[in-house]
Amino acid sequence: MGLKFQKFRGKGRNTMTMIPFLIGIPVVLAVLFPFVRDSKTRGYLVYAGAGIVMTATVVFIVSWISGGAQTWMLYQSTETVDHLMTAGDIFLMCLIVYMSVKYKRVLPVLLSVGQTALLLYTEFTVELPEGPHMTVDWMTILMCIIIAFIGGFICIYTVGYMKGYHEHHKDVKDRQPFFFSMLFLFLGAMFGLVFSQSLIWMYFFWEITSVISFLMIGYTKTEEAVNNSFCALWMNLLGGLGFAAGIAWMAYMNGTVQLLDVLSVGGEVPLLCLALAGLTKSAQLPFSTWLLGAMVAPTPSSALLHSATMVKAGVYLLIRLSPAFEGNLTGIIVSSIGGLTFIMASMMAIAQNDGKKVLAFSTVSNLGLIVGCAGIGVEETVWAAIFLMIFHSVSKSMLFQSVGATENTLGSRDIEDMHGLIIRVPKLAYIMGIGIAGMYLAPFGMLISKWVALKAFVDSGNFILVLFIAYGSATTMFYWTKWLAKLLCFHIPRETVKDVTRKDEYVSMFFHAAVMLLLCLLLPFVAMWIVNPIVRELFGNSTDVLAMSVLETMAIMLVSIFIVPVVMFFISRRSHRELVPIYMNGINEGDNRYFTNSYGEKEHLYLSNWYLRFEFGRRHLRIPSIIAAAAVLVLGFCLVIGGAL
Amino acid sequence: MNVGFVIAYIVLAPFLGALLDGIDRIISARMQRRKGPGLLQPFYDLGKLFSKEMIAVNNVQLLLNMSYLVILVIAGAMLFAGADLLMVLFILSTADMFLIMAASSDSSPYANMGASREMLQMMAYEPLTLLVAVGFYLTTGSFQVADIIQADTSAVLWMPGLLVGFMFTSAIKFRKSPFDLSTSHHAHQEMVKGLTTEMSGTTLAVMTIAEYYETVLLLGIFCLFIVNSTWWSWIAAILACAVIYFLEILWDNACARVKWKTLLYSCWIVTLVAGGINILILMLIK
């Protein structure tokens, strides 16, 4: 690895003292919330907390960049903290055991006790050399930005959302202090995770995120919520077991638990074990069930799980590992599971009419593409993967928030009920529209990444992935287009609705929309300043993936999407026209809402989207795709372990 | 030279498209043993559409249709400027998106069904178009149209399967039977005129002109299969395009419209068999 190990001095020391703050501030806030019973005070505390987290992140990044933007390896000897973390691991295990016993589940107990025992045994029997425990590099910085800003604004959004949520769901017990604690704790754990260089440290934060997501999914405590939360728990614990096994293997075979050493000397077994952890956390097949079930929780937790945290942790780990995936069996396993997930989840998304379900499937599908890219492990694919991750974070967070706000306003998150949203609640429709466009349309970054990914898949000679991306992008287009078309129907509403979205929710959503548009306009700069440095760090040196001619193309595309419609708006406005009713076979009832039915009565016109349920429904595709992915995984494990022994 | 091509495309493509449409009508009429309209009928039709009083069902349809037209022209201009083929295809899909939005913006039952079918058609042909771009990349080592036409041999020698597949799926784009589900050139289907039901006058004229641009764009992609660095390959390409266009007309007249499932599955299977195997072989030998 061509990385520079630089001892911190001068300004570096500031950075070092700041990391505990970044992790600590959200944790302190999380501890405070249970004591703040007044909802107004709590709201202000959340705003202040999110503001502090964001400011701290900005200060941290500025100090890191002004310090030369070098890769820093920090914290050589940390015995006390190590012991604290061991205690933390044991606490988490006890919590899981307690909850499992309370709800009578066996599997989580076995998995949790197994992995914690394995880890503790390893820690106490193997003498590990001292090494850096934390790293700061461009990848960390990018993740910090995502966590602090996307995560922070989701917290701000939550304040308003939860008020509306509890007005609608009287049956759910109001546990808001707990919910906010979990949100901030999640941010703290994510900061810890992305800074960690020592696998043992990373494992600790990894487990925290698993447990918090378990607690958040179970927020409503209904039977469904409890079932889904345990599903999420055992799947993520399985990944955690893989993580622990990877650590144990590294410790016994190579005598080190550094993430970087996994890349250089680890060999395939620990690599695959860690990849398993990444796959479960990023909800790839056969483990995608947990993320789909996670929607029972209030929307902000979905927004957080899907965009800034949780699944991004899985993807983050896989991108970190990606240079080691190139050209070996583990890489093939990871990329084929990713590719399969991409196409299968996008097909299943077609058959959904619940807005949040479509979003969940699309997350799984998009993460599949990212994982596929990471699994190939060459510069171009990793470049594309990072880009996809950035765009996915912003647009998915925005989409979840707007669907959540729409649900509070309309009382439904069914896409069918969003017919003509542009007339009824224009602001939410615009935000949702920008989010959807960001997910698949030119010139938004997703498409550029897809373009790069396709080229890289061809270059790496991976035939199956080329087919997956060709078919998968077609199915992706279908489900987004029909949603977008539903929003843009100009239909006079039957009853007017009152937009109950609160100001703080709009602040967050407008922020996301602005970021989305800016990312699009500044795409070349994002590539130059953030993505290229990351790829350079991961691969030593790299050529710029995005050639200049592509940038020209980008400019043309920007013109076509933003400027053409605006110009056309002004041109077409000048033409005088007379508005007439739509064609309904001559049986219109005066306005566009009713027609005369065969009994001569007035019938309301209802237009439905097309869901192809019998062709692309979950009940046809879910089981086969899970079996296929599980087979790939099991076969891969057999081959890799067999090859190593 | 490139600038010349682009200007020629922007200026001449609608005329060429309309002429092709006129020829299409004459040939179709002869196949059906009727006299049919004259060659210039499409021009008269357009003139008539533009002269009509402006009536519309809402205020955005014209705007969306005009965006469709302009973005399609941009896609075509990029193709004829020798730009990246994959980008051209992506922009082409984006343009189509505007047409779908235009059709569904009116909340009309027939137009909405047409728009849904148009989405399905996009889903049916999109995999193959991407594979065609990949095929050119594998054959000539570049996605740039300017590089593809400078190759020593015609691309079709390496990608016959993709050509066949593209001929098959482009019936969707030409709006030819058996794949004219979303709208057709004839207003006698079960969904009235599908996608274009609510379009009239100028709005419909804009859409028709856009379709002419699209026809020429597609024929341009067909030319890419044939054109190489020799001058006579251009003549061969134009002849090949004429043959392909004739075959599409023949197919149009010989087939009845199929159901959507047949359309989707047949396109996907042809993509997999003709396109996929072609790509696989290219990957193995190149």
Beta-carbon contacts of residue B38 (< 8 Å; ≥ 6 apart): B22, B26
Instruction: Assess contact for A135 and A72: CB atoms under 8 A.
Output: yes
Radius of gyration of chain A (CA): 25
Give which of B50, B92, B116 to mutate to test A binding, by max A Cβ within 10 Å.
Answer: B116
Supply the DSSP string of A524-555, one letter for each residue. Answer: HHHIIIIIHHHHHHHHSS---SS-HHHHHHHH
What is the least distance, in Å, from the CA of A443 to any CA of chain B?
9
- Nearest CA among A215, A187, A210, A214 for reference residue A46: A187
* Beta strand pairing call for A591-596 and A588-589: antiparallel
B59 and A469 within 8 Å at the Cβ level: the answer is no
> In whole angstroms, what is the distance from residue A561 CA to residue A437 CA?
10
A550 or A323: which leads in pLDDT:
A323
Distance CA(A530)–CA(A533), nearest Å, equals 6
Q: Does B156 touch chain A (CB under 8 A)?
A: no
Residues A197-239: tens digit of each pLDDT: 889 889 999 999 999 999 999 888 888 999 999 999 999 999 9
Q: What is the DSSP letter of A414?
A: B
Give the Cα separation of B217 and B219 in Å (integer): 5
Q: CA A59, A62, A67, A71 torsion: positive or negative?
A: positive
pLDDT in tens, B10-25: 999 999 999 999 999 9
Contact A443, A560 (CB under 8 A): yes
Percentage with pLDDT > 70 across chain B: 98
For A166-189, what is the mean pLDDT?
Answer: 87
Determine the Cα–Cα distance for residues A405 and A428; give it in Å rounded to an integer. Answer: 8
What is the DSSP code (8-state) at residue A604? E
- Provide the CB-side half-sphere exposure for A334 (13 A, CA): 38
CB nearest to A553's CB, from B53, B87, B192: B87
Would you say the pTM of this structure is higher than 0.90? yes
pLDDT in tens, A571-626: 777 776 778 888 887 788 877 788 888 888 888 888 888 888 877 777 788 888 99
Chain-chain contact of B130 with A584 (C-beta, under 8 angstroms): no
Give the pLDDT score at A547: 57
pLDDT greater than 80 at residue A644: no
Task: With both helix axes pointing from N to C terminus, report the angle between A548-558 and B85-104 in degrees, rounded to the nearest 10.
Answer: 10
Amino acid occupying residue A559: V
User: What are the CA-CA distances from residue A87 to residues A81, A361, B82 (Å)?
Assistant: 10, 37, 64
Do A458 and B134 lie within an 8 Å CB cutoff? yes
Is residue B169 less than 8 Å (CB to CB) from chain A? no
Mean pLDDT for the stretch of residues B249-265? 90
- What's the rounded mean pLDDT across residues A189-199? 91
Please state the length of chain A.
Answer: 645
pLDDT of residue A555: 67
Asked if residue A276 has pLDDT above 90, the reply is yes
| Interface predicted TM-score of the whole assembly (ipTM), two decimals | 0.93
Query: Do the Cβ atoms of B212 and B14 come closer than 8 Å?
Result: yes
Cβ B275 vs Cβ B161: under 8 Å: yes
Residues of A in contact with B106 (CB under 8 A): 489-490, 582
**Considering only CB atoms, which chain B residues are within 8 Å of A615?**
261
Q: How confident is the model at residue A543 (pLDDT cuts 50, 70, 90)?
A: low
Partners of residue A602 on adjacent β-strands: A596
Mean pLDDT over each residue of chain B, to the nearest integer: 90
Q: What is the pLDDT of residue A69?
A: 75
Q: Which structure tokens are listed for A61? A: 């990044």
**Side-chain half-sphere exposure of B112, counting CA atoms within 13 A:** 26
Q: Enumerate residues 6+ apart whose C-beta is below 8 A from A386.
A: A142, A319, A531, A534, A535
Q: What is the pLDDT of residue A3?
A: 40
- pLDDT for the residue numbered A11: 46
Q: Is A382 in contact with A500 (CB distance < 8 Å)?
A: no
Distances in Å between the alpha carbon of A149 and those of A41, A192, A216, A512? 22, 16, 20, 9
Residue A1 has pLDDT above 60, yes or no: no
Segment A454-465, tens digit of pLDDT: 888 888 888 889
Mean pLDDT, residues B68-75 taken together:
91
Residue A344 has pLDDT above 80, yes or no: yes
Q: Are B159 and B278 in contact (CB under 8 A)?
A: yes
Provide the shortest C-alpha distance from residue A505 to chain B (in Å): 28
Q: Which positions in chain A touch B56 (Cβ < 8 Å)?
A: 577-580
Q: Residue B272 — pLDDT band, cuts 50, 70, 90?
A: very high
3-state secondary structure of A595: strand
Which B-chain residues 114-133 have CB contacts (< 8 A) with chain A?
115-116, 119-120, 122-124, 126-128, 130-131
Tracing tokens 């600590």 back to the chain, one arrives at A24
Please check whether residue A502 is in contact with residue A158, taking contact to mean a CB–CB distance below 8 angstroms. no
Residue with tokens 């999914």: A217
Question: What is the chain A residue with the closest CA to B105?
Answer: A489
Rounded Cα distance between A243 and A132, Å, is 19
Q: How many angstroms away from the CA of A35 is the closest CA of chain B?
A: 51
CA A281 to chain centre: 10
Answer whether B60 touches A (CB < 8 Å).
yes
Pairing of strands A578-579, B55-56: parallel
Handedness of CA A97, A99, A102, A107 (dihedral sign): negative
- Phi, psi (degrees; rounded to nearest 5) at A255: 65, 30
- Cα A477 from Cα B72, distance rounded (Å): 18
A594 vs A179: CA distance, rounded Å: 45
β partners of residue A6: A72
pLDDT surpasses 60 at A12 = no
Q: Which residues of B touch A559 (CB under 8 A)?
A: 74
Mean pLDDT within A148-153: 92
Residue A270, pLDDT > 60, answer yes
Six-digit token string for B217:
């764009």
Whole-number pLDDT of residue B182:
85
User: Which pLDDT value is given to residue A233?
Assistant: 92
Nearest to A488 among B74, B94, B105 (CB): B105
User: pLDDT per residue over A102-128, tens digit each?
Assistant: 988 889 999 999 999 999 998 888 887
CB contact under 8 Å between B63 and A572, yes or no, is: yes
B123 contacts in chain A (CB < 8 Å): 474-475, 477-478
Whole-number Å distance between alpha carbons of A257 and A202: 10
CB A487 within 8 A of CB A417: no
- Say if residue A326's pLDDT is above 90: no
**Is the minimum CB–CB distance between B63 and chain A shorter than 8 Å?**
yes
Distance CA A473, CA B125 (A): 11
- Other beta carbons within 10 Å of B201: 19
Q: Above 90 in pLDDT, residue B121? A: yes
Q: CB burial class (10 A; 0-12, 13-18, 19+) of residue A626?
A: middle
Q: Residue B184: what pLDDT?
A: 74
Backbone angles phi, psi at A292, to 5 degrees: -70, -35
pLDDT score of A9 more than 60: no
For residue A416, the tally of other CB atoms under 10 A from its CB is 15
Using alpha carbons only, how large is chain B's radius of gyration in Å?
19
Of A194-198, A439-443, A466-470, B110-114, the one with minimum mean pLDDT is A439-443
**Minimum distance, in Å, between the CA of residue B83 and any CA atom of chain A:** 8
Omega before residue B42 within 30° of 0, cis: no
Chain-centroid distance, C-alpha B16: 14
The listed range with the strongest mean pLDDT (A32-46, A416-430, A441-455, B122-136) is B122-136
The rounded distance, in Å, linking the Cα atoms of A264 and A270 is 12
Task: Note the pLDDT tens digit of each residue in A41-75.
Answer: 888 999 999 999 999 999 999 988 888 777 777 77
The residue that leads in pLDDT, A239 or A441, is A239
Interatomic CA distance for residues A176 and A314, integer angstroms: 27
Q: List the single residue in A475, A577, A584 with the smallest CB-CB distance to B54.
A: A577
| CA atoms of B195 and B184, how far apart (whole Å) | 9
pLDDT of residue A443: 65
| A556 contact residues in B (CB cutoff 8 A) | 74, 78, 91
B209 touches chain A (CB under 8 A): no
Lowest mean pLDDT among A255-269, A620-634, B89-103: A255-269
Closest CA to A320 of A373, A374, A279, A370: A374
Contact at CB, A582 and B111, closer than 8 angstroms = yes
Between B266 and B190, the more confident residue is B266
Which residue among B70, B126, B143 places its CB closest to the CB of A474?
A: B126
* Percentage of chain A modeled with pLDDT above 90: 33
Average pLDDT over residues B147-174: 92
A254/A464 Cα distance (integer angstroms): 35
Q: How far is A634 from chain B (nearest CA, A)?
A: 27
Question: How many Cβ atoms sit within 10 Å of the Cβ of residue A593?
Answer: 18
pLDDT(A7) > 60: no
List, in sequence order, every residue forming a beta bridge with A619; answer none if it has no partner.
none
Distance from CA of B201 to the nearest CA of A (A): 11
d(CA A553, CA A36): 53
Contact between A557 and B197 using a beta-carbon 8 Å cutoff: no
